[in-house]
Amino acid sequence: MASASGSPVRVRFCPSPTGNPHVGLVRTALFNWAFARHHQGTLVFRIEDTDAARDSEESYEQLLDSMRWLGFDWDEGPEVGGPHAPYRQSQRMDIYRDVAARLLDAGHAYRCYCSQEELDTRREAARAAGRPSGYDGHCRDLTDAQVEEYTSQGREPIVRFRMPDEPITFTDLVRGEITYLPENVPDYGIVRANGAPLYTLVNPVDDAMMEITHVLRGEDLLSSTPRQIALYKALIGLGVAKEIPAFGHLPYVMGEGNKKLSKRDPQSSLNLYRERGFLPEGLLNYLSLLGWSLSADQDVFTIDEMVAAFDVTDVQPNPARFDLKKCEAINADHIRLLEIKDFTERCRPWLKAPAAPWAPEDFDEAKWQAIAPHAQTRLKVLSEITDNVDFLFLPEPVLDEASWTKAMKEGSDALLTTARANLAAADWTSPESLKEAVLAAGETHGLKLGKAQAPVRVAVTGRTVGLPLFESLEVLGKEKALARIDAALARLAA
């Protein structure tokens, strides 16, 4: 796909630098990135940091770090530069001041002197009368005398954009044709009384100057589109813009209870997924399904497969539900897809302090390499590795009381005694042989394998659930395993 005039695709990702991006923002970044890569276009990364009070240097750094962790690259923007630098809006204030002045000169914008109380009063009155309650155009055509009067009163004007008195129609790439009537899109502020330019100005001005061809963003911004189209037309008149971009609005992401997932929802925080050990590729795979799909019968795919297939016109407009269980299941699939060497390395952060409870010198690389393949098939998220392998590196297994009570029944001591004797005689280089030993002990006491292995598992690992038992025993080693069964027998006798 190219833009209307056939020029190559240029899309942008333009977040405000909040330190901890939310998953909706990540999906927007992903769709823009995939769209750019699919069309061999350009992804512009722009930082919308005009809100100085909220935007700190630290959150800017965190944002970049998140983008890198997710594996995104950009063709223009912070660190890589580009022909439209700078890419941080806080460094482009002169540009906005200049454009605002030209919009005023050309009559596309005007100064509005209304106070907040006046606006509120008139809005209430309009509402009561059943008229549209947006700005009423009061200051559109003030006389010089009126302006002088307001100025002498010490009023400080904002700058308002003059909306055309005609409907605005555009074809959204996701939602199809949409028309906004003028009474629903009143004149709007573009510069604050203190001279600070607003999002309503700086975002389309930058899109225009950076020659963005496709604006792909969240549905919450749909209603700003008619304003931006009108502003674009004015910018084209001033020679600042070349053409109006195409717009595509991505569906809302719904969370628990079918409510819009909000930035404040813990479930929406990217850092949370990172800390729990989601793989970027697993998380991105899942997020791509929020509004899009590769095919009806394939939920798990690589990012390259997504890029090859992605088009924004295939995005569905209906709200997408964020399903954590499904997100975890897809992540588990991506964990299984890793090369074993990659898997063992990606687990590293959870194998050392502060995540790991064992002393660093008790960690045993050979044991880790031996158990890793059995863990890889079991994890939903990488952070689960710690609990699954702690029995190998702690001097004593974690004694989980609930597990103990559940597994140690009447007769467990007799079973453990037999199992210990059988295991002592088994071949410890063969998990099959270890299984035979426990199976035989079960038979002696009239227990199926599942019931017979539970006390052994709790004695050796401390927990009722974990990695495949006989492989675990083999990796732990005969001496330690038998000592732990002895310790459990002693505890049962006490």
- Strand ranges across the sheet with 42-45: 42-45, 10-13, 214-218, 246-250
Of the candidates 15, 30, 8, the one whose C-alpha atom is nearest the C-alpha of residue 303 is 30
Which residues have C-beta within 8 Å of that of residue 409, sequence separation ≥ 6? 455
Site for Zn ion, rule CB under 5 A: 112, 114, 138-139
Smallest gap from residue 228 Cβ to ligand GLU (A): 8
Residues 196-225 as x/- pattern, contact with ligand GLU by CB under 6 A: -------x-------------x---x----
Out of Zn ion, ligand GLU, none, which partner does residue 221 contact, by CB within 5 to 8 A per kind?
A: ligand GLU
Out of ligand GLU, Zn ion, none, which partner does residue 112 contact, by CB within 5 to 8 A per kind?
A: Zn ion
Clarify whether 263 is annotated catalytic: yes
Residues 3-42 as x/- pattern, contact with ligand GLU by CB under 6 A: -----------xxx--------------------------
CA atoms of 474 and 434, how far apart (whole Å): 8
Smallest gap from residue 113 Cβ to Zn ion (A): 6
Alpha helices per DSSP H over 297-352 = 303-309, 324-337, 340-346
Out of ligand GLU, Zn ion, none, which partner does residue 456 contact, by CB within 5 to 8 A per kind?
A: none
Out of ligand GLU, Zn ion, none, which partner does residue 138 contact, by CB within 5 to 8 A per kind?
A: Zn ion
CA atoms of 127 and 129, how far apart (whole Å): 5
CA atoms of 295 and 167, how far apart (whole Å): 38
CA atoms of 243 and 164, how far apart (whole Å): 18
Judged by beta carbon, residue 261 or residue 332, the one nearer ligand GLU is: 261
CA atoms of 254 and 317, how far apart (whole Å): 13
Judged by beta carbon, residue 112 or residue 201, the one nearer Zn ion is: 112
Judged by beta carbon, residue 235 or residue 469, the one nearer ligand GLU is: 235
The only residue of 8, 19, 48, 222 in contact with ligand GLU, by rule CB under 6 A: 48
Out of ligand GLU, Zn ion, none, which partner does residue 279 contact, by CB within 5 to 8 A per kind?
A: none
Q: Determine phi and psi for 189, rounding to 5 degrees.
A: -70, 140
How many residues touch ligand GLU under the rule CB under 6 A: the total is 7
CA atoms of 317 and 249, how far apart (whole Å): 8
Binding stretches for ligand GLU (CB under 6 A): 14-16, 48, 203, 217, 221
State the catalytic residues.
263
